[in-house]
Amino acid sequence: MGRIAELRTIVDHPYSYLQKIKDQSGKKIVGTVCSYAPEELIFAAGALPVRLFGSDSGIHRADLHLQSYCCSLVRGILEEALSGRLDLLDGMVFPHTCDSIQRLSDVWRLNLVKPFHADVVLPVKLSTPSARQYLTDVLNKFKTDLECGLNQEITEANLIHAVKIYNAIRTQMTRLYQLRCENPQGIKGQDFHTIIRAAMIVEREYFLESLTAIVADLEKMTSEKEPSRARRLVISGGICNHPDVYDAIEAADGVVVGDDLCTGSRYFEGVINENLPPLAAIAQRYSERAICPAKHAGLTQRGENLVRTVRDCKADGVIFMLLKFCDPHAFDYPYLKEMLDREKIPSLLLEMEEQTEAGGQLQTRLETFIQIL
């Protein structure tokens, strides 16, 4: 089986993969819900951090606890937990970001008993020197909580190793992004999406090995690239859990060449400075990486970052993928669109549920947008 096919099997059946890891190695599994979860510390505690996504079995039990105007991602994660499908988790980590994630944490704490439950209360404004010190203190407390909750000491050597592994993954991911940008025909959107999802699930050392091999293969293909007439697009939003959308874009003669997603560049951006003490260095990366709308680092930082991404990727347009009832992204959309309009960058807004399938109306909207580019 090829590397990407192997990753896809894991991404399509994450719970059986995680159960196998637990059974074979006794490794603890810790769920996370957001790209601000300090995964390096979970890794350093010998556990496997796993980003959770919503339910594809419909949402029933979660509606007894969360209003239907919470986003389908959060309601879907709760559904998975209340259905018992997340019983394999040894703990959960909730960064203090959007309201929906905070409410999910409250409901989780009251209804789902796990050995470990942490709220990581990061500051809202991340760009000041005092925020960075505060962040380091928060990470220090999280480290102590993890040690107690998982009954595992986190040594300096473990932390340094974790930083090295995550840096190596982020460096390879950055190269993968560059290669896609140079030759988007070299890798299908679905495969790219599989790699990103796998980065959040698979044992990280093994993932790094697979990723390095995939990037090396792609490097060879890039040198044989052919010019393409497909329209180049950047996707912007919170999460993209819609592999079908990539196929729909490609069927409409478009290609994704960059993104501004939590399940994308925001998750990988920026390496950790290996010359600083690990916790201070992790805090520094958080304060410098591209922010999400649940955080603040200046009134127009996200818009500037999006315009820069479009320019760097030589993109023809932007597709906003907005999860219904996601307030933080909905509030940011008007000003982001305005900034794109000022730069004469066309954009399309798609409002979706986490499990929206491509086809029909979505396909027509994509085709119409791509044709005018």
Residues that bind ligand SF4 (CB under 6 A): 34-36, 71, 73-74, 97-98, 100-101, 238, 262, 292, 294, 323, 326, 328-329
Say how far apart CA 297 and CA 45 lie, in whole Å: 30
At position 308, the amino acid (one-letter code) is: R
- Residue 185: helix, strand or coil by DSSP? helix
The number of beta carbons lying within 10 Å of the beta carbon of residue 165 is: 16
Least distance (Å) from ligand SF4 to the CB of residue 295? 7
Pick from 51, 363, 65, 299: nearest CA to 199: 51
Cβ proximity to ligand SF4: between 215 and 290 the closer is 290
Cβ proximity to ligand SF4: between 180 and 266 the closer is 266
Least distance (Å) from ligand SF4 to the CB of residue 320? 13
Cβ proximity to ligand SF4: between 201 and 255 the closer is 201
- Residue 317: helix, strand or coil by DSSP? strand
Least distance (Å) from ligand SF4 to the CB of residue 91? 18
- Residue 233: helix, strand or coil by DSSP? strand
Say how far apart CA 143 and CA 252 lie, in whole Å: 47
Confirm if 21 and 203 have CB atoms less than 8 A apart.
Answer: yes
- Residue 322 is given by DSSP the state E
Confirm if 50 and 204 have CB atoms less than 8 A apart.
Answer: no
Least distance (Å) from ligand SF4 to the CB of residue 92? 14
Least distance (Å) from ligand SF4 to the CB of residue 68? 13
Least distance (Å) from ligand SF4 to the CB of residue 26? 30
Least distance (Å) from ligand SF4 to the CB of residue 356? 13
Cβ proximity to ligand SF4: between 136 and 265 the closer is 265
Cβ proximity to ligand SF4: between 37 and 214 the closer is 37
Cβ proximity to ligand SF4: between 252 and 321 the closer is 321
Describe the chain by its helix, strand, coil percentages, rounded to 5: 55, 15, 35
Q: Beginning with the edge strand found earlier in the chain, give each strand of the sheet holding 29-32 in spatial order.
A: 48-51, 29-32, 91-95, 116-120
Cβ proximity to ligand SF4: between 262 and 281 the closer is 262
Structure tokens at 289: 């990486």
81: buried, middle or exposed (CB in 10 Å: 19+, 13-18, 0-12)? Answer: buried
